[in-house]
Structure 1
Amino acid sequence: FASDPATCPIIPGCETTIEISKGRTGLGLSIVGGSDTLLGAIIIHEVYEEGAACKDGRLWAGDQILESVSHFCTGEWN
């Protein structure tokens, strides 16, 4: 079944695509690791209280990030 990535829950152990709008505060994440480290993965180290990820409530310290995609909008459409 298809879920809205802006609202879908994260089920432990299941790969989930989510979407968080960072707004003016930013995501508010501290990460560790990477493909060139002993961890071999990107892990959330800390979720900061004032950031969008904390306000969203779905990401926690210890969660693994498999992929990150950013969408930027610059300018205005008339």
Structure 2
Amino acid sequence: MLPPLPSFPDELRGLTCGAKTRAGTPCKLTALYRNGRCKLHGGLSTGPRTAEGKARAALNGRALKRKQTP
């Protein structure tokens, strides 16, 4: 069973996803979610929900920051 669709803001009507596909072209899907992306490019993403997942995401963010800092 699919999760319920979020309410659709009027400012997203008629827009396309615009995420870059693996071929390098912009995605042309028009079925967008609140974040402005289609279900294939992050529209259904909820992010980490468990404490373990949130800790892993925070650790990954810190590692990326250390890698980028000269």
TM-score tier by shorter-chain length is under 0.3
Structure with larger RCO (C-alpha < 8 A, sep 6+)? 1
Larger radius of gyration: 2
Structure (1 or 2) with the greater helix fraction: 2
